[in-house]
Amino acid sequence: MIAVAAVLLPLASVSEGDNYSDLPGPYCATRRGGCCYGRVDECSVPVLGTLCYCDDFCNETRSIDCCPDFMSFCLGLQPPLEIGSCYHNGLYYQFGETVKINCNLCKCQQAGNKVELLCEQNECLVEPEIILRINSGGHHFNWRASNYSIFWGRRLDEGISLRLGTLQPQKVVMRMRPVTPVYDPWRIPRSFDARNKWPGLIEGVRDQGWCGSSWALSTASVASDRFAVMSRGLEKVQLSAQHLLSCNNRGQRACQGGHLDRAWLFLRKFGVVDEPCYPYTATSGFLERCRLPKRSNLLTARCKPPAHPQTVLRTELYHMGPAYRLGSEQDIMYEIMESGPVQATMKVYQDFFLYRGGVYHRSDYGPQSVSGYHSVRIIGWGEDVTQREPIKYWVSVSCCYEFLAWSA
Ligand SMILES: *[C@@H]1O[C@H](CO)[C@@H](O)[C@H](O)[C@H]1NC(C)=O
Ligand SMILES: *[C@@H]1O[C@H](CO)[C@@H](O)[C@H](O)[C@H]1NC(C)=O
Ligand SMILES: *[C@@H]1O[C@H](CO)[C@@H](O)[C@H](O)[C@H]1NC(C)=O
């Protein structure tokens, strides 16, 4: 239905003067023209958003902007191996020393008749090589990748289980008959952003932390936006995702993921309180047990009555009507324009965690057998007309990023 991809908010960037010697190479060895003389940009190789050099200025120990494999590749020099130590990507390790390289624990140890740094072989959430491949262009994507410090050092399976968190939609949901709104398709603009139509009423990015709660977070956010939009700002509220996470536990798996239809059913039958009343505490993966009995109201929940301007005192929890499915791209657009953001589920692979900007479109880099479902909120759409052919995208918000997702 929707192919969505992501735009992360800037969280981390490589600091200047960084020493890249522990980056897995090869660098100079990837240059098509080999090594070169004279410091010109063509002598360089990208390293996570910056460049390292493979030129004769590197033939001195002071250069800090040289590729880690300059000495070995360009000059053919093997670094002197000290007896009983390991050499790996420009660094020495003592015999018996352990070191964590990205998400893998490594140890300098005896391997056969030599001493070697042996590492665990986990797939990591951030693989520098994939960042380089995505950013080096030459393929049909126009998005940029980078190293997010929150993801660095984590395994791919941790990212899939704890940074996404939507269970695969069941057949009954996939077979739900879409509603078909009636409208004039010519009224649908080429681009739209709910934040411009309803300033101040659309939620920003919420961080789910290391808890697979996108099912609860995206549902709470879409519901919050719709309360604000439907009430024309009179009931601008941030609904509690924690309430869903802790209390909507039938058939749901909390920080291990949940079903969207069950979340919406819970919102319809029981309702939830607002964020200040039941704040999100699952950021580190710790799950609080449900502390609100079903069918409580805001008074029995001992919440401060929300201070909505010019409204009657609300004592009921916030309920939503039933969820429905939309069948076509234009129907989704019309829905967002008329009623506010919608929820979508996307299948996520490793490269999504590297998204920094542009229109995300899944690459085939990284393991294709490892994926998870992620629920996001679509708040608008647009077209990138800077390319030869305009690229249509959805403007979406997920756990920790706002992103532009390629729309098929
Ligand atoms: C590198 O520097 C050394 C000492 O300055 C010099 O002898 C050598 O020829 C240089 N090598 C290259 C390839 O420029
Ligand atoms: C790079 O970092 C390593 C370890 O931190 C250090 O031993 C080495 O001297 C540094 N190299 C440069 C060129 O700064
Ligand atoms: C990625 O970011 C982390 C944290 O900022 C840093 O420690 C790590 O060295 C970076 N990795 C690469 C390959 O730049």
Position 132 in a domain: no
Domain with residue 271: its CATH number is 3.90.70.10
Q: Considering 94, 119, 144, which residue would you say is the last residue of a domain?
A: 119
Q: Are 173 and 286 found together in one domain? A: yes
For a ligand 2 pocket test, name from 16, 19, 59 the mutation site with the most ligand atoms within 8 angstroms of its C-beta.
19
Position 150 in a domain: no
Q: Are 262 and 341 found together in one domain? A: yes
Question: What is the identity of the amino acid at 267?
Answer: L
Q: Are 296 and 395 found together in one domain? A: yes
Q: 33-60 burial, b if ≥16 CB within 10 A, otherwise e?
A: eebbeeeeeebbbbbbeeebbbbbbbee
Q: Which pLDDT band holds residue 177 (cuts at 50, 70, 90)?
A: confident
Q: Are 102 and 163 found together in one domain? A: no
Domain count, the chain: 2
From the CA of 56, the nearest ligand is: 1
* Residues whose beta carbon lies within 6 Å of some atom of ligand 3: 12, 14, 23, 48, 128, 147, 149, 152
* Residues whose beta carbon lies within 6 Å of some atom of ligand 2: 19, 21, 64, 91
Q: Are 224 and 359 found together in one domain? A: yes
pLDDT tens-digit readout, 277-310: 999 999 988 888 998 887 777 777 777 766 666 6
Q: Minimal CA–CA distance to 394: which of 2, 33, 1, 88?
A: 2
Does the CB atom of residue 59 touch ligand 1 within 6 A? yes
- Which protein residue's CA is at the shortest distance from atom 2 of ligand 2? 19
Query: What is the whole-number distance in angstroms between the Cα of residue 79 and the centre of ligand 2?
Result: 14
Q: Considering 119, 136, 168, which residue would you say is the last residue of a domain?
A: 119
Position 130 in a domain: no
Q: Are 405 and 271 found together in one domain? A: yes
pLDDT at 63: 65
Q: Are 105 and 162 found together in one domain? A: no
Q: Which pLDDT band holds residue 406 (cuts at 50, 70, 90)?
A: confident
pLDDT tens-digit readout, 45-89: 887 677 888 888 887 765 667 887 787 788 877 655 555 678 787
Structural domain that includes position 207: 155-408
Position 126 in a domain: no
Instruction: Give SS3 for 156.
Output: helix
Query: What is the whole-number distance in angstroms between the Cα of residue 25 and the centre of ligand 1?
Result: 23
Instruction: Pick the atom of ligand 1 nearest to 59's CA.
Output: 1
